[in-house]
Amino acid sequence: MKSWLLGSAMAFTLALPAATAFAASDDPLGPNGSIKHIVVIYQENHSFDNLYGNWGNVEGQAINGRANATPDDTIQVRQNGKTPYQCLLQVDVNLASPSPLPTSCTDNKGTTPINSAFGNAPFSIDSYIPSSDTTCPSPTVFAPTNGILNGHGLPGGCTRDLMHRYYSEIYQIDGGKQDLYVTGSDAAGLSMGFYDSTQLPIYNYLHAAGAPHYVIADNFFQGAFGGSFLNHQWLVAAATPVFVNAPNDASAQDLHSVVDKKGMPTNTPLYTSAQSFIKDAQLTASCTPPAGRPATPTGMTCGDYAVNTIQPWSQPYSPGTPAYKRLPPLANETIGDRLNEAGVKWAWYSGGWSNADGDIGAPGWSNGATSTDGCTDPNVNPTAVWPNCPDGDFQFHHQAFNFFKNYGPGTHARKEHLRDEQEFIARATSGTLLPVSFIKPLGEDNEHPGYASESTGSSHLVDLLNAIFNGPNGKDTLVIITYDEFGGQWDHVSPPGTGKTKGPHDQWGPGTRIPAILISQQFKHSGVDHVEHDTTSIAASLEHKFNLAPISKRDKDVANLAGAVDLGFFGAY
């Protein structure tokens, strides 16, 4: 792991200042409130039940965790939408039967037998793949689809990755029944796994003596169905981007998905489409498919919308990506534009940005000073061409603002606002935090299944918190930690717009419930916020703080986080 390691994630050296005085009528998150700096840390790919599901009570307030799930919430059903499985098929090499785990449960998919060590229920990942297991890939090596067998990788207890795509998640949620996560996943039964919340470094940090108080939000959903690319767009723009002039001709350059009558664009180990041609691609299905492609089912989202992982037009993008697979620069408005209009200083700090962007000599640069020296960092992407020297685990589609024309190469806005995580650390320790900071950790540190270790990512999170709260600005900073999306993991709570769950929603989401937590040294209490939020609540909170106009209808309608902040200040009502 590449890390600056401010110290052990388990070392708590917080020096809390005297409490800030304020009147009970004040809005701490309001324009004149005592919160002066907001830091958003955007982690990767976990549902609430997967990561925080057994967090437990917080100052006597119960979270809505796995213990609140009924059997109907947990039982996963077959492709017919009715018949439960007896066992969970496992394809991760460290969970498979009869080896390395003995078979204790048998089932079938049609005439194909299923041998498993798991019944049809959530299970503890830590019990089978602890953080000490050597199952993680090197940053320069693409991990096998079904993971790395223990003993053949690096320490960290990594699992394989799981499907997390726009149409697939809609199928998995099944109208709020939450019962097709296994059937709709390329990782099958792994989608029902969970971590012991109480063993996470972030949990131990927050429950150590002298730690700041926190508010956990247990009704917080990812802004849009699907994966990281789309939810990063909803974080900064509260909208789904359009691929301008997208080909619609069934050629190799036609990036539209093709879905069957159940809305699925792909087969999985437990789902076989009745349609001969389906395609899970970067864009939504075409509203008017060309000759040779099946019609898009009525009521299915369609158009030229970019919903799945796609590369940006501008560097940095994955080396060698042809132009037709890169999204043309976007012109819709972002929260960055709103902050700029109001004169509010902000930056997006990304782990590995200087190396990837070719910012020679900037904070975080760790490669050669000239083309003759080249890309010298040992973790560099093996296909990189100097001066763009991205880390092997640098995720190009996570760099949300790089997709926008306003922040393109050569612009002043890019130089001012798109910065390296190392610069954020320096600002935190020196007391020069900007009013708004977004932090996107490097791949090795972001908790993403498949290429990152959960324990390592959570430890990096703690390192960031130590930098903030041990720094001069810690006394008036609010940290918002959340995850971009569910990572293919089951959760028992229906998203708004599905089942009986109400709240702001549209054809894009919200999707599965995700972890979210607010931390401040000014908080007098810890607690649980049960108010419904989604990713756009972050933009709504910034709009509330700085008197900004909404970007879209969703962030206009959704609840901001002022109530959660009040809970930290004043306690449960």
The pLDDT score that the predictor gives to residue 143 is 85
pLDDT band for position 556 (cuts 50, 70, 90):
very high
Are 34 and 474 in contact, with CB atoms under 8 Å apart? Answer: no
Q: How far is CA 563 from the centre of its chain?
A: 23
In the predicted model, is pLDDT for residue 3 greater than 70?
no
The domain spans of the chain are 37-66+195-238+312-570, 242-305
Are 510 and 197 in contact, with CB atoms under 8 Å apart? Answer: no
The pLDDT score that the predictor gives to residue 9 is 39
Report, as an integer, the average pLDDT of 500-525. 95
The pLDDT score that the predictor gives to residue 5 is 35
Are 317 and 398 in contact, with CB atoms under 8 Å apart? Answer: no
Higher pLDDT among residues 572 and 209, named by residue: 209
Which residues make Cβ contacts (< 8 Å) with residue 550, sequence separation at least 6? 238, 539, 540, 543, 556
The pLDDT score that the predictor gives to residue 95 is 98
How far, CA to CA in Å, does 205 sit from each of 27, 46, 490, 523? 27, 19, 26, 16
Closest by Cα among 227, 390, 385, 396 to 325? 396
Q: What are phi and psi for residue 569, nearest 5 degrees?
A: -80, -45
Closest by Cα among 246, 256, 260 to 295? 260
**How far, in Å, CA of 387 to CA of 373, rounded?**
10
**How far, in Å, CA of 120 to CA of 124, rounded?**
13
Tokens of 237: 């723009």
Query: 4: which DSSP letter?
Result: -
Place of tokens 């200042």: 17
Lowest mean pLDDT among 18-32, 105-119, 405-419, 511-525: 18-32
Lowest mean pLDDT among 250-259, 497-506, 531-540, 556-565: 497-506
**How far, in Å, CA of 294 to CA of 271, rounded?**
19
Q: How confident is the model over 284-294, as pLDDT tens digits?
A: 999 999 999 99
List residues bridging with 283 in a β-sheet.
Answer: 256, 306
List residues bridging with 388 in a β-sheet.
Answer: 385
Report, as an integer, the average pLDDT of 343-362. 98
The pLDDT score that the predictor gives to residue 573 is 62
Report, as an integer, the average pLDDT of 196-203. 97
In the predicted model, is pLDDT for residue 529 greater than 80?
yes
pLDDT band for position 12 (cuts 50, 70, 90):
very low
Place of tokens 């499907």: 163
**How far, in Å, CA of 150 to CA of 133, rounded?**
6
Q: How far is CA 66 from the centre of its chain?
A: 20
263: left (phi over 0), alpha (psi -120 to 50) or beta: left
How far, CA to CA in Å, does 270 sit from each of 59, 78, 102, 189, 191? 42, 8, 21, 10, 13
Place of tokens 């006394």: 475
**How far, in Å, CA of 223 to CA of 229, rounded?**
12
Query: 548: which DSSP letter?
Result: P
Query: What DSSP element (H or E) covers 554?
Result: helix 553-557
**SS3 state at 317:** coil
Enumerate helices (H) and strands (E) in the chain, giving the number of each.
13, 18
- The sign of the torsion formed by the CA atoms of 440, 443, 444, 448 equals positive
Q: How confident is the model over 159-199, as pLDDT tens digits?
A: 999 999 999 999 999 999 999 999 999 999 999 999 999 99
Query: What DSSP element (H or E) covers 437?
Result: strand 436-440
Written as one string, the DSSP assignment of 132-181 is TSEEEPPTTSPPPTT---TTSSEES---------HHHHHHHHGGGT---T
CATH number assigned to the domain covering 37-66+195-238+312-570: 3.40.720
Are 443 and 452 in contact, with CB atoms under 8 Å apart? Answer: yes
The pLDDT score that the predictor gives to residue 142 is 83
SS (H, E, C) 443-481: HHHCCCCCCCCHHHHHHHHHHHHHHHHCCCCHHHEEEEE
The pLDDT score that the predictor gives to residue 572 is 80
**How far, in Å, CA of 456 to CA of 443, rounded?**
11
pLDDT band for position 499 (cuts 50, 70, 90):
confident
**How far, in Å, CA of 100 to CA of 94, rounded?**
6
Higher pLDDT among residues 14 and 186, named by residue: 186
- CA dihedral 318→347→436→453, nearest 10 degrees, is 30
pLDDT band for position 26 (cuts 50, 70, 90):
confident
In the predicted model, is pLDDT for residue 259 greater than 70?
yes
**How far, in Å, CA of 439 to CA of 237, rounded?**
16
**Percent with pLDDT over 90 in the chain:** 92
Are 519 and 206 in contact, with CB atoms under 8 Å apart? Answer: yes
In the predicted model, is pLDDT for residue 461 greater than 50?
yes
pLDDT band for position 21 (cuts 50, 70, 90):
very low
Q: Which amino acid is at 64?
A: N
**How far, in Å, CA of 19 to CA of 475, rounded?**
8
**How far, in Å, CA of 224 to CA of 236, rounded?**
12
**How far, in Å, CA of 153 to CA of 133, rounded?**
9
CB atoms within 10 A of CB 540: 26
Q: How confident is the model over 354-400, as pLDDT tens digits?
A: 999 999 999 999 999 999 999 999 999 999 999 999 999 999 999 99
The pLDDT score that the predictor gives to residue 22 is 40
In the predicted model, is pLDDT for residue 535 greater than 70?
yes
How far, CA to CA in Å, does 150 sit from each of 91, 131, 450? 14, 11, 14
The pLDDT score that the predictor gives to residue 111 is 87
Tokens of 224: 């849009």
SS (H, E, C) 502-522: CCCCECCECCCECCEEEEECC
List residues bridging with 518 in a β-sheet.
Answer: 215, 480
Q: What is the mean pLDDT of the chain?
A: 94
Query: 294: which DSSP letter?
Result: P
Tokens of 221: 């959903």
Report, as an integer, the average pLDDT of 107-114. 92
Single pTM value for the model? 0.94
